[in-house]
Amino acid sequence: MKLTDEQKHQNRVDRALGTLKKYQISTARQKVLGKFQKMIRAEAAVKHMHLAPPGHRYEGQYLVPCCTSGQWLPWGGENLVDAGHFVSRQHTAICFDERNCHPQAKAENNHPDQLPVAARYREYMVMFHGQDVIDELEVAKTTVRQWTHYELAELAVEYEDRFNAAAKKLA
């Protein structure tokens, strides 16, 4: 009997759940955050693949602009680019909010509280999302979100699918 797409999807969620249940929730969340951040960088590369400066590719990779410096960096160059959070990812209610996460130079993401970096990230947020979104994120960060292993498994599968779709466009 052939499985439906829904059954295949559920099987993938179940496999992800089996893997994530080996960890405490905080560690499982960190593992899914890695998938989320990789997806953010790949989708940004797709979005900007026709906007990058002509002829600018790094070792065959498309470039993404850093949200704080404007520097164009290779989307998959994890030694050069992160997916930085405007409001710290330690706030569980918004750690997976896509409005809160953007490609950012690793050097700038490692020092997010330094005044020039924080000010430039705020300017970026106002320009691309507006003050209303900043206000929503600031309020939401005070909410405590208790993730379950199952919810994280569903997110892991979604982020893998979205990453694979973006990577296919970048190939």
pTM of the model: 0.90
Confidence of residue 60 (pLDDT cuts 50, 70, 90): low
Q: Does pLDDT of 64 surpass 70?
A: yes
Lowest mean pLDDT among 64-78, 125-139, 145-159: 64-78
CA 2/CA 89 separation, integer angstroms: 41
Q: Does pLDDT of 55 surpass 60?
A: no
Q: Does pLDDT of 147 surpass 90?
A: yes
Check: CB of residue 29 under 8 Å from CB of residue 147. yes
- Taking residues 13-17, report their average pLDDT: 97
Query: Domain segments of the chain: what residues?
Result: 5-170
Q: Does pLDDT of 89 surpass 70?
A: yes
pLDDT, tens digit (0-9, with 9 covering 90-100), for 108-145: 888 756 778 889 999 999 999 999 999 999 999 999 99
Q: Does pLDDT of 56 surpass 70?
A: no
Lowest mean pLDDT among 9-23, 55-69, 82-96: 55-69
pLDDT at 171: 81
More confident residue, 34 or 49: 34
pLDDT at 168: 93
